[in-house]
């Protein structure tokens, strides 16, 4: 049976902390609990506006965890410099807009070719694997290959938000096609954004997706059942 990996994004533990500027809850503790539950990697997004995860958090997390650390980040020079200093196992490049509630779409690799190329080159100099968060579009997968990325993460945001069954099925088909094409191109294929304990059941049918990166739903569930149980519940869905 194929093992599908789970990366747990712990940003929203920091969101809760930053709501009151307290010292708790600590995202590094969350990372350790998700690791204890058996997740395959820890994901954190160090945003330029520092709305949740702070610079100190990523250094502490990197020091404490044994599973790979995937730093989500924009191509901003200041963040690329921090990533170089930190040395996570992987960096996932995402677009970042100040006013967005959360990442709104994949990075447009054609429009942002220069910026992405420069960030990839700096990250690779530090031996950091690079993943590109893209919409499920063939041309974006092609561009990711030309840019020399190691991984593509397909944006499942639209699939997660589609309210009608027909629209969701259509988007699922688009994701499947992009995942097949990315696999053919030799990529490790990840996916994520907006996934929860219900919609995951549809998307795990796409065999080409090797890893899911999930945050908000797992952290939300953990409020009621604890992070170890919430993570285990998602792992069991991924491998059922
Ligand atoms: N993957 C990427 C690239 C993201 O930007 C995010 C959100 O930070 C996630 C996965 C996780 O999304 P969610 O919190 O909706 O599960």
Return the CATH number at 51.
3.20.20.70
Q: Is 131 in the pocket of ligand 1 (CB under 6 A)?
A: no
Active site residue 96: no
- What pLDDT, on the 0 to 100 scale, is given for residue 211? 98
Total structural domains within the chain: 1
Q: What is the pLDDT of residues 181-221, one digit of tens each?
A: 999 999 999 999 999 999 999 999 999 999 999 999 999 99
- What pLDDT, on the 0 to 100 scale, is given for residue 240? 85
pLDDT of 99 above 80: no
Q: Is 154 in the pocket of ligand 1 (CB under 6 A)?
A: no
pLDDT of 2 above 70: no
The parent domain of residue 207 ranges over 5-238
Active site residue 216: no
Confidence of residue 40 (pLDDT cuts 50, 70, 90): very high
Number of H helices, E strands in the chain: 11, 8
pTM of the model: 0.96
For residues 183 and 144, what is the distance between their CA atoms, to the nearest angstrom? 12
Separation of CA 40 and ligand 1 centre (Å): 16
Q: What is the pLDDT of residues 78-88, one digit of tens each?
A: 999 999 999 99
Q: Is 103 in the pocket of ligand 1 (CB under 6 A)?
A: yes
For residues 4 and 44, what is the distance between their CA atoms, to the nearest angstrom? 20
Which residue, among 147, 28, 7, 149, has the nearest Cα to 70 in the 3D structure? 7
């Amino acid at each position: 049976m194929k093992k599908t990996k789970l990366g747990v994004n712990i940003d929203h533990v920091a969101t809760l902390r930053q709501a009151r500027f307290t010292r708790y809850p600590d995202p590094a503790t969350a990372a350790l609990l998700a690791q204890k539950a058996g997740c395959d990697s820890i994901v954190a997004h160090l945003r330029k506006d520092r709305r949740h995860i702070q610079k100190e958090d990523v250094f502490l997390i990197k020091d404490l965890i044994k599973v790979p650390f995937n730093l989500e980040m924009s191509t901003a020079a200041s963040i690329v410099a921090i990533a170089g200093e930190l040395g996570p196992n992987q960096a996932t490049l995402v677009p970042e807009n100040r006013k967005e509630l959360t990442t709104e779409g994949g990075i447009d690799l054609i429009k942002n070719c220069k910026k992405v190329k420069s960030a990839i080159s700096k990250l690779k100099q530090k031996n950091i694997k690079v993943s590109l968060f893209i919409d499920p579009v063939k041309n974006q997968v092609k561009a990711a290959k030309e840019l020399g990325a190691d991984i593509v993460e397909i944006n499942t945001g639209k699939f997660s938000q589609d309210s009608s069954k027909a629209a969701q099925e259509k988007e699922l088909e688009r994701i499947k096609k992009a995942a097949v094409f990315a696999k053919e191109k030799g990529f490790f294929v990840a996916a994520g954004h907006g996934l929860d304990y219900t919609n995951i059941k549809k998307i795990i049918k796409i065999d080409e997706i090797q890893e899911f990166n999930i945050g908000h739903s797992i952290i939300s569930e953990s409020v009621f059942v604890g992070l170890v149980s919430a993570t285990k519940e998602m792992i069991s869905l991924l491998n059922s």
